[in-house]
Structure formats: structure tokens, C-alpha cells
């Protein structure tokens, strides 16, 4: 692929953030995904060049982490957690409902390119299980009905707010944020709520504390 001067400058900015160029490989892959809607072979080659690694090394990273997609995602990525906690609390039912609504299965995009569906093993948000993400933004405590409603609203072009973050943008915008986190949106939404702090509150009420670290001589 032809690399624009703007893209080249952004790649150089990412490399400059780290002591070693290879440390910038993952953000560079996110940047290329934000531009191409997937991680292509050409994109991997460009990242390898700037990171100072072989194409094989860069490919191994792009193929290991599931957030890097090797086919076009489209406008919105929908991820439904089906791991233990979410599964027990209805994650599979949520996934089935969304899959039926979109008419696609795991790692498949709709024909119109509006949605890409993925079964996710863990969203690291068990407190609010079952959890669904839209372009990696959390939709907490979803049900089959509420999850499908989110998809319907996005399909109609309505504004949808994530549970603990900013208004949903689109997949490529979020991918750019993963490359350059300083997007000015960190203060939007409520990142921590009472449900997430329940354990800490109870511990304080009962005077509980973690054991001291380290070993005595």
C-alpha cells in the first residue's frame, strides 16, 4: 500500500514514544487497522519496517492477538462475552440474540458492512456480566433484548452512549484511539460505579486490609 505522508508522520510519532522501535509495534498495528479497517499484509510490512523487525515477527503479533482482524470489520464491531461469569448470567443467550438479529456468526461481518460480530472469551468486566462491547466500549449488564436494542439504534444511526465511556463512534475511530490514547474522551462517562466499588466499601466498613507485602528478615 502507498503510505501517505500523514501516516508516515504518525508512525514516526509512535516509534518516538518508546526506547526501542519494536515496542511501538502494537500501537502501529492499531493505527493501520484504523486506516484500513483490518490488518493487511501490506500494513504488517509497513509496521515491521518502522519497528525494525521482520515481517514474520510482525505477523506473529498480528495473528496472536484477536483484536487485530485479518478481514474487514466494517462500521461497528460487536463483541459479546461468553466466558464463565458472563456465560452463567446469560452471555450465550445475548450472543444468540445478536447473531440472529444480524444474521451472522462468530468473526463474520454483515453484508452491508455495518456490523462485525465476535464471541469473546473475556471482556475483563465480570462485575457487570453479561457484558457486550461496541467498538470496544462497554455495554454493561445486557440482556438479549437490550443488546438487540443497541444494535437496532446503531443501525438507525441514533446516538448510543456506552455504559462507562464516551458516545459510540465507530470501529476505526476507536482503533485510532488505541494507537493514540490522548483523544480527549477519557473524562466522558462514569468509569467506576457503586457496583464496582462494593467490595472496597465492605472492606472499609469491616476494617479489612490486604496483608503487608514482602517478607520479614
pLDDT (tens digit per residue) in 93-137: 999 999 999 999 999 999 999 999 999 999 999 999 999 999 999
pLDDT band at 215; cut points 50, 70, 90: low
Residue bearing the bigger pLDDT, 195 or 163: 163
E strands of the chain, at which residues?
A: 76-81, 108-109, 115-120, 132-134, 137-139
**Helices of type H across 17-143:** 25-36, 41-51, 55-64, 84-88, 91-102
User: Mean pLDDT across the stretch 74-80?
Assistant: 97
pLDDT at position 216: 52
Write the pLDDT tens digit of every residue in 21-72.
Answer: 999 999 999 999 999 999 999 999 999 999 999 999 999 999 999 999 999 9
pLDDT at position 1: 61
Q: Residues 6 or more apart from 116 whose CB is under 8 A from it? A: 69, 73, 74, 76, 77, 78, 104, 107, 108, 109, 110, 171
pLDDT at position 217: 47
Cα→Cα distances 175→69, 170, 196, Å: 11, 9, 26
pLDDT band at 147; cut points 50, 70, 90: very high
Considering the entire predicted model, what is its pTM?
Answer: 0.89
Average pLDDT score over the chain: 94
What domains are defined for the chain? Answer: 5-64 (1.10.10), 76-179 (3.40.30.10)
Cα→Cα distances 120→108, 123, 179, Å: 13, 7, 21
pLDDT at position 190: 79
pLDDT at 2 over 80: no
Tell me which DSSP letter residue 61 carries.
Answer: H
Sign of CA dihedral 93, 96, 99, 105: positive
76-81: strand order across its sheet:
108-109, 115-120, 76-81, 132-134, 137-139
pLDDT at position 45: 95
Amino acid at each position: 500500500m502507498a503510505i501517505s505522508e500523514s501516516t508516515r508522520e504518525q508512525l514516526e510519532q509512535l516509534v518516538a514514544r518508546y526506547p526501542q522501535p519494536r515496542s511501538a509495534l502494537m500501537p502501529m498495528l492499531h493505527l493501520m487497522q484504523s486506516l484500513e479497517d483490518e490488518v493487511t499484509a501490506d500494513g504488517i510490512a509497513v509496521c515491521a519496517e518502522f519497528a525494525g523487525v521482520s515481517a514474520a515477527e510482525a505477523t506473529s503479533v498480528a495473528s496472536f492477538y484477536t483484536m487485530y482482524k485479518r478481514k474487514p470489520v466494517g462500521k461497528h464491531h460487536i463483541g459479546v462475552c461468553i466466558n464463565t461469569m458472563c456465560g452463567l448470567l446469560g452471555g450465550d443467550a445475548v450472543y444468540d440474540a445478536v447473531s440472529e438479529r444480524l444474521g451472522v456468526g462468530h468473526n463474520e461481518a454483515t453484508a452491508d458492512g455495518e456490523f462485525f460480530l465476535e464471541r469473546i472469551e473475556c471482556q475483563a468486566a465480570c462485575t457487570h456480566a453479561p457484558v457486550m462491547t461496541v467498538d470496544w466500549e462497554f455495554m454493561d449488564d445486557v440482556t438479549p433484548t437490550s443488546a438487540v436494542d443497541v444494535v437496532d439504534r446503531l443501525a438507525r444511526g441514533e446516538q448510543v452512549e456506552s455504559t462507562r465511556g464516551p458516545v459510540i463512534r465507530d470501529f476505526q475511530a476507536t482503533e485510532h484511539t488505541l494507537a493514540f490514547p490522548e483523544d480527549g474522551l477519557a473524562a466522558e462517562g462514569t468509569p467506576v460505579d457503586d457496583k464496582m466499588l462494593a467490595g472496597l466499601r465492605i472492606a472499609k466498613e469491616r476494617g479489612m486490609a490486604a496483608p503487608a507485602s514482602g517478607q520479614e528478615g
